């Protein structure tokens, strides 16, 4: 499944009002013909546009757009950050949000700026209707890792949540026979967590350049896995059965209580490269379109059910083992 077209990068970071701004634009999966009519716009807010005076094709995936920036900007701020749009009849429009900064010396003539940026006919922009994955900056082709990495973490959370519930029932209602379920859920949950971290590392290597960047989400996820790995050492370190069940259940609940702020609260409030944390938008809201959602949502449900089934089978193995030993 190919990715849609997208704007990879531009060579300008800043232009000034009243000047001519030549921007070289690199396009992902660009396939422009020499005689194709390419249009480019700078768009600010929802209704202010500046059309490019000239768009020249440098290569099949690079164009040079020339903009005459009006003398005033449609805002009383010293700088605005318009989006860049490139549009063709064949492939539709592609956008780079907050592409560059436009600065102005005078901030008192926003009214003139509004008049200069309002064009008589809004450009007819459309997204080409075909089956392709969305283009996302930085991620690009690695977007496909989403199908593996995220469902594994969802499944891990489900299994750890179920095991915390069983631990609670053990402690509150003294239902001691639930301890084997806790063990099985934690074992399969830990396996899924390790696989989730490995797939995340592969994704990070391709998207961020390094397997491990000490990103806060990576770090806190590893800490959570260490915590649950220590559960098995505690399990092995207590011989008395009732004592083992009580202590491991209490420790399991403590780990679950610590995992919630570690995985969900702290990464969201710190600087992070990870989507959904550190001020980055969460993935599924704006970064997916319905092409990926068609596979992603069933994948999440499928992994959750599969992992629960595996944990159930492992629980039955533990029970059989215990029954064999008791004979």
Partner 1 sequence: MNWTRQWILIKYDFLLDFRHRFSIGSVVLYAVFSVFLCLIGYQDPELEAWNLLYWILLSFSAVIWSINVYAKETAEHRLYYFQLVRPQELWLAKWISGTAFLMIIAAMLCLSLMALSYDPVVDWPRQIAAMALSALALAAILSFTSAIGSLSDSPAVVSSIISLPLILPVLLLGQYLTGVAMDLRDPSAYMQYMMYLAAITVISSGAAIVLINFVWKN
Q: Which is nearer to partner 1, 97 or 261 (CB)?
A: 261
Q: Rounded to whole angstroms, how far apart are CA atoms 192 and 194?
A: 5
CB of 62 to partner 1, least distance (A): 38
How many residues belong to the site for partner 1 (CB under 8 A)? Answer: 31
The residue (of 242 and 320) whose beta carbon lies closer to partner 1 is 242
Instruction: Give how far Cα 133 sits from Cα of 5, 13, 85, 261, 298, Å.
Output: 9, 28, 19, 33, 17
141: nearest Cα among 45, 283, 29, 46 = 29
Show the binding pattern over residues 216-245: x = contacts partner 1 (CB under 8 A), - = does not. ---xx--x--xx-xxx-xx--xxx---x--
Taking residues 148 to 187 in sequence order and writing x for each that binds partner 1 by CB under 8 A, - otherwise, the string is -----------------------x----------------
For partner 1, which residue of 57, 125, 266, 295 counts as binding (CB under 8 A)? Answer: 266
Q: For partner 1, which is the closer residue by CB, 38 or 187?
A: 187
Shortest Å distance, C-beta 223 to partner 1: 5
Binding-residue pattern over the window 187 to 206 for partner 1, x denoting contact by CB under 8 A: --------------------
Cβ proximity to partner 1: between 46 and 233 the closer is 233
**103, 140, 247, 284: which one binds partner 1 (CB under 8 A):** 247
Residues paired with residue 57 on neighbouring β-strands, in sequence order = 63
Q: Tell me the three-class secondary structure of the chain, residue by residue.
A: CCECCEEEEECCCEEECCCEEEEEEEEECCCCCCCCCEEEEEEECCCEEEECCEEEEEECCEEEEEEECCCCCCCCCCEECCEEEEEECCCEEEEECCCCEEECCCCCCHHHHHHHHCCCCCCCCCECCCCCECCCCCCHHHHHHHHHHHHHHHHHHHHHHHHHHHHHHHHHHCCHHHHHHHHHHHHHHHHHHHHHHHHHHHHHHHHCCCCCCCCHHHHHHHHHHHHHHHHHHHHHHCCCHHHHHHHHHHHHHHHHHHHHHHHHHHHHHCCCCCCCCCCCCCHHHHCCCHHHHHHHHHHHHHHHHHHHHHHHHHHHHHHHHHHHHHC
Q: Output the smallest distance, CB 240 to partner 1, in A.
A: 9
Q: Which one, 145 or 247, has the nearer CB to partner 1?
A: 247
Least distance in angstroms from the C-beta of 164 to partner 1: 11
Which window, 69-77, 158-166, 196-204, 264-272, contacts partner 1 (CB under 8 A)? 264-272
265 binds partner 1 (CB under 8 A): yes
Decide whether 264 or 309 has the Cβ nearer to partner 1: 264
Residue whose structure tokens are 């075909």: 130
Q: Of residues 24, 57, 132, 250, which one binds partner 1 by CB under 8 A?
A: 250
Please, what is the minimum distance in Å from the beta carbon of residue 193 to partner 1?
A: 13
Span 44-103, contacts to partner 1 by CB under 8 A: none
Work out how close the CB of 138 gets to partner 1 at its nearest, in angstroms, rounded to a whole number: 24
Residue numbers at the binding site for partner 1 (CB under 8 A): 171, 219-220, 223, 226-227, 229-231, 233-234, 237-239, 243, 246-247, 249-251, 253-255, 257-258, 260-262, 265-266, 269
């Amino acid at each position: 499944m190919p990715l849609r077209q997208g704007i990879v990068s531009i060579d300008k970071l800043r232009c000034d009002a009243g000047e001519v701004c030549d921007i070289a634009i690199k396009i992902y999966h660009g396939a422009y013909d020499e005689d194709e009519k390419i249009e480019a716009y700078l768009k600010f807010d929802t209704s202010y546009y500046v059309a490019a005076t000239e768009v020249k094709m440098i290569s099949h995936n690079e164009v040079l757009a020339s903009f005459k920036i009006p003398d005033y900007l449609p805002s009383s701020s010293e700088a605005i950050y318009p989006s860049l749009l490139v549009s063709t009849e064949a492939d539709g429009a592609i956008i780079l949000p907050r592409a560059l900064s436009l600065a102005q010396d005078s901030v008192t003539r926003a009214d003139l700026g509004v008049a200069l940026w309002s064009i008589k006919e809004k450009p007819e922009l459309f997204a080409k209707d075909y089956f392709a994955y969305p283009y996302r900056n930085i991620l690009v082709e690695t977007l496909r890792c989403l199908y593996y990495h995220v469902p594994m973490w969802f499944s891990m959370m489900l299994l750890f949540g179920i095991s915390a519930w069983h631990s609670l029932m053990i402690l509150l209602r003294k239902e001691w026979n639930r301890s084997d379920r806790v063990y099985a859920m934690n074992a399969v949950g830990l396996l899924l967590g390790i696989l989730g971290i490995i797939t995340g590392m592969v994704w990070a290597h391709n998207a961020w350049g390094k397997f491990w960047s000490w990103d806060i989400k990576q770090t806190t996820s590893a800490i959570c896995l260490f915590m649950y790995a220590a559960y098995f050492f505690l399990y092995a370190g207590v011989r008395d059965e009732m004592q083992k069940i009580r202590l491991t259940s209490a420790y399991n609940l403590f780990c679950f209580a610590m995992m919630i702020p570690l995985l969900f609260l702290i990464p969201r409030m710190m600087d992070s490269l990870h989507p959904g944390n550190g001020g980055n938008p969460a993935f599924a809201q704006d970064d997916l379109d319905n092409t990926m959602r068609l596979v992603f949502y069933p994948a999440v449900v499928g992994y959750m059910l599969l992992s629960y089934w595996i944990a159930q089978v492992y629980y039955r193995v533990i029970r059989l083992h215990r029954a064999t030993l008791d004979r």
